[in-house]
Structures are given as C-alpha cells and as structure tokens.
Structure 1
C-alpha cells in the first residue's frame, strides 16, 4: 500500500533512534530518508494530506532536521527537492548542517509526464538545460554562498541522483567539493553489465579513444579537474539503470593492469553514444554537452549485495536497512 510505504513508523529506519554521525551506515540511512521525505511531500501535496494526515515530516524530524525550503519545478509545480537544516548541533564534524535532497521519478501522471521528459534529457545529456536543473543548481549555490561549503550534503535517488551529480560536478569545477550520497544514479550505457570478461568494454574503449584522437581531443579537459571530488555512489547489481558503474570502474582498473591505462583515461571521459548524440544535437542546433553527466573520475562505490526482489533493486527503501551486506571500493583518478 502506498500510504504504508510513506509512513515512517511502518517503512522507515525506526531502528536508528540515535545517529552516530561518524558512522557511514548511519549517514547513508539518514541521507536516504531525507530523499524519501521529498517523495512523500510531493504525494502529501497531491493527496492533500494536510495537518495530522501529512506523512512527510517524520522522515526528517526523526533525525532532528527541519524543512528549510522546498524546491519547486515551475513547469509543473511539483516538489522535486528540499533543503533541510539540522536543528541540533552535534559535536561530530561529519554531521551536515544542511542537506539538499532530490527525488526521482514518481509514476503518477501529474508528475510522470514531466519526469519522463527529464529522463530523456538525462539520456541525451541535456539535463542541465532545463528549468528544474537550473533551480537545483541555484539552490546549491545559494546554500554554499550563504552558509559555506563545509558540512553541506547533496543527496538524490535515480533522476534525483543525476541532479545531485550535475550540481556536484558544477560545484567541483569551482573548487567546492560537497559530500554527496547518490542512490541508484543512472548510467547511460547499453546493458553490458552481465557480459563476462572485458572484451566488449576494451573494444568500446579503443573506439572511443580513437574517435577522440581523430577530433584532436585535448586531455586537459574538466574531467581530471573533478578528480578531487569523490561522491558516494550506491548501486545494486540487479538494477540495470545504475549497475554499469561497477563495470565502468572495474574496467578502468583492469586497463591500468594490462598497461592500457592511457587509452582508458581518455576513453573514460567520453562515450561513443555521447559523442553521437552531441554531434546530432549540434547539427540540430540544440544544446548538448560533449561530456556525459554520468561519467565521473573518482568515487566511493557502494554495492548492495543483500538479497532484494528485482523490482526493489532500484528503490530507495533498500538503502536504510540496518543489516545490509555492502561492498565498498574507493576509486581515485590519476591523470
């Protein structure tokens, strides 16, 4: 039942009665809950669950946050994000003072039509040229400018993770590296994650690097400049939307081991599909970045190995469980 899933006391991390801000598992659970709060707030608004019937507030109040500001898409008036402020002042430096959270797609017609258009923008690498992305970026800039960059978190799920990736990249290019919790971030790529071996990826890397060499691509792009930013990417192998991040980073390490690191350092900055889309968009006079949004030089990759139903592999709920079986790897880019 949707209302049961939106009720914190029935579906939320009620086991987390006290937050240890130095504990990565607690950080993950809180970040995921704040993202869930954005989903529930949008449904509260549409279902007019006001006053005592509103289900969203417990998703942040349980962790001593207050709602600082809602982020509204001016095209469809939907709530796509929220800025939360921590009301208590813990001693741990790892505690955020502000969290900017973005939701993903909601499969209801009043929001789905707009969300679907944005998902297409993610695939065609044109998310930043939308009013929602512009509002998200401005919100992040305002929080950082007003309150400083320390102890400010970004959090997002699915489409919202792409929004968080976009905002984090923009800030990193200015030398501001925000802590980011990106759940099930979309990786725009053919579904080759289940193919064993590195043959297909090797071929793709060689083709991509070759195309870039033909275009006289200069390695001194913004990609290496992002290497100091290390967002946390939370993925599930059973989720085809984000699972390719596993192969992306593992293949980069493998290429280094076989002595082909220079090829992969170039190829990992672009994708064949992205180059094609950019070329088509340019001919049509539409704005499109040649640098794919989903590609990132450095990251902390957290893979959920806990058994979940396939239909839940892309869900936000999987990320606040108390006893998850997780595999973590840190990948640092070196030019």
Structure 2
C-alpha cells in the first residue's frame, strides 16, 4: 500500500536477472544538483536535503539487493553532496534489509540551523528481497500496531541512543511513506519523554476514510462535520468510563511539537491531512471549537473497537504541524507518492502552520 518504491525505482533486467540502476537511483541524473550551496535558513533547501537523505536509504537497500559495491554502488552521492557521511545503516532483524540510516554532517564551516545528525527511514520498497516484510509492516501501521514491530523498536532505540549522546537540538528525523510513519511515531514518543526532535515527514500515511477525494466541497465539508459530531459523541461516552485529565493526555503533551508534513493532494495515502487541518480551522470559524477539539484527538475505529489509546495510538492524530502541500500538477499516483517531487527545482508549494491551542 505504501509502495514508495513503485514508479521511481524501476529497473531494467537482463536475461540473467541482473538489474541495471534506473535513472531515478543515480544522484547525478535525478538529484538536486542545483543545491551546490545549501542555505539552511531556506525551507526549500532544508526540505530538499531531508528528502535526499531519505532517498539515500532507498538506494542503500537497492545497492544491497543488487550486490553493488565500491564504484558500482549509487547510494553515497545522495549524502556526500551535502557534506554528510554515513555513520550507521539501520538493519531489519527479520529480512536484514536496510530500512534506515544515521548521517553526520561534516562541514568545516559552522552553519546555523544545519543538523549535526539526521536519522532517515525509507518507505515500502516493492522489490522481492524487501516486499513481504515491508507490506506486513504497512498492515501493522494501518492497524495502529507499528509500535509492536521489531523494526520500529530498532529505530526507536537508535533515536534514543543518539539523543542520549548529543541531545535533540542537533538532530533531524526524516522519513517517507512507511518510513515517515516510523519517524512520526518515534518523534511522538520522544516528545512525550520531553525530547522533541525536528521532524520531516514526506507523504505520511493517514489511515481514514478518503474524504479528501470528494470533489464537491459542500458534500466534503458536510461529511466532515457529521464525522466530527459522531467522534465527539463517542469520545464523551468512552471518557465517561475511562476519564483522564487534560494534563495527562498524550495529545496535549504533543501540542508544542511541530513536525513538517509534506503531502500531495493526488496521493490518497497522505492527502487526508489536508482536510484534517483545514476542517479544524472551519469548525473554529463556525464556533464549534469544543466539538472539533474533542473529535480531532480521537479515532472512530479505535474508540469503537475498544482499543486503548495509550497502548495503540493512531498515527495520524496530530495536534500541530507545519503542513506543506505540493500544488504542482501530478500526472499519476506513483509520482504523487514519490520522494523525488520534494526536491524538484520547479516545486510549487503552499505551506501553513497549524497549532493546537
């Protein structure tokens, strides 16, 4: 479902099934070569670098699968170009695939706002050596069970270990698709421990009814209002039995953490974030703030099936975020969900800060 590898990780195979690297894998052909001097104060530059480092993880795993080593490998330019070095790959303990990487910034010149370390996570790679494991994790994410996977636990341990050594001010988290779910959950957990980390989430999955796909704005808004009322009503009933104070509520604890979300309206996997935050604004405008504040922090599925929020928290529930929408025309879903769009020099984005207050 979260097949980030489709479309932009194509390969040509010979009769011996030996794959040749696609254009999309080669930094010199597909990377943001225009970023010869990164301005770390520039949001477009920061987004492009973060996305490129995530792409580096994809190519690390493709190099492993294709046994490309030395001069045949293609991963290193995706981080070397920006003066990062690979400190450690993160390896899944089930299929031994590379799902993440820890990078260190090695510039001789101090750069304000530049991260010292970046922990990046790839999404689903639709290739034989990784497909099955990745799809199983996609299903766990849909069921709000990603935190139970060993891959996430390995990722969380890596984040905690690095924070213990260097603190949070020098670290970025970044991920795409399934990888953004891992980064998002890691960021949430660290914030609850009072260690908020700057986080970049590309095409983060939003597991809900695809209301954003409805073209009629009145119908779309009506459905959202009805859903908010239903969610608020169920939440009141549930909290009557399992009440927790606002001070202890994990949703409110997260309200000061503002991850960067990057979504494409043509990508049904992440597009619902657009309506999620826009609807909150509209409900406030019509004086229904109390209903929406209660609705926005609950998932109908989790409440109906009696899932304990503390043990099984829906990924998509976010109090605050800096949301960037790709306004460029996207010809198909594969490109709308792909990572390459986020460093395109002709990128046309619309950004807005959403705070839960």
TM-score range, shorter chain: over 0.9
Unaligned stretches of 5+ residues in structure 2: 1-9, 12-20
Give the Cα separation in 1 of the matches to 2:306 and 2:205. Answer: 18
Q: Does the CA-based 8 Å contact 1:185-1:241 persist in structure 2? A: yes
Question: What SS is found at the alignment partner of 2:101?
Answer: strand
Unaligned stretches of 5+ residues in structure 1: none
Give the Cα separation in 2 of the matches to 1:213 and 1:21. Answer: 45
Q: Does the CA-based 8 Å contact 1:154-1:168 persist in structure 2? A: yes
Question: What SS is found at the alignment partner of 2:211?
Answer: coil
Mapping for residues 148-297 of structure 1, pairs under 5 Å: 148-195=167-214, 196-197=217-218, 198-215=221-238, 216=240, 217-218=243-244, 220=246, 221-279=249-307, 289-297=311-319
Give the Cα separation in 1 of the matches to 2:310 and 2:60. Answer: 32
Q: Does the CA-based 8 Å contact 1:234-1:301 persist in structure 2? A: yes
Mapping for residues 102-181 of structure 1, pairs under 5 Å: 102-181=121-200
The offset of 1:314, in angstroms, is 0.2
Q: Does 1:298 align with 2:320?
A: yes
Q: Does the CA-based 8 Å contact 1:185-1:242 persist in structure 2? A: yes
Give the counterpart of 2:31 among 12, 22, 25: 12
Q: TM-score w.r.t. structure 1 length?
A: 0.95
Match of 2:54 in 1: 35
State the superposition RMSD in angstroms. Answer: 1.5
The offset of 1:109, in angstroms, is 2.2
Bigger mean CA offset, 172-181 vs 85-94: 85-94
Give the Cα separation in 2 of the matches to 1:158 and 1:295. Answer: 16
The offset of 1:333, in angstroms, is 0.2
Q: Does the CA-based 8 Å contact 1:124-1:277 persist in structure 2? A: no
Q: TM-score w.r.t. structure 2 length?
A: 0.89
Give the Cα separation in 2 of the matches to 1:233 and 1:295. Answer: 13
Q: Does 1:45 align with 2:64?
A: yes
Give the Cα separation in 2 of the matches to 1:87 and 1:238. Answer: 37
Match of 2:85 in 1: 66
The offset of 1:308, in angstroms, is 2.1
Q: Does the CA-based 8 Å contact 1:275-1:290 persist in structure 2? A: no
The count of aligned residue pairs is: 328
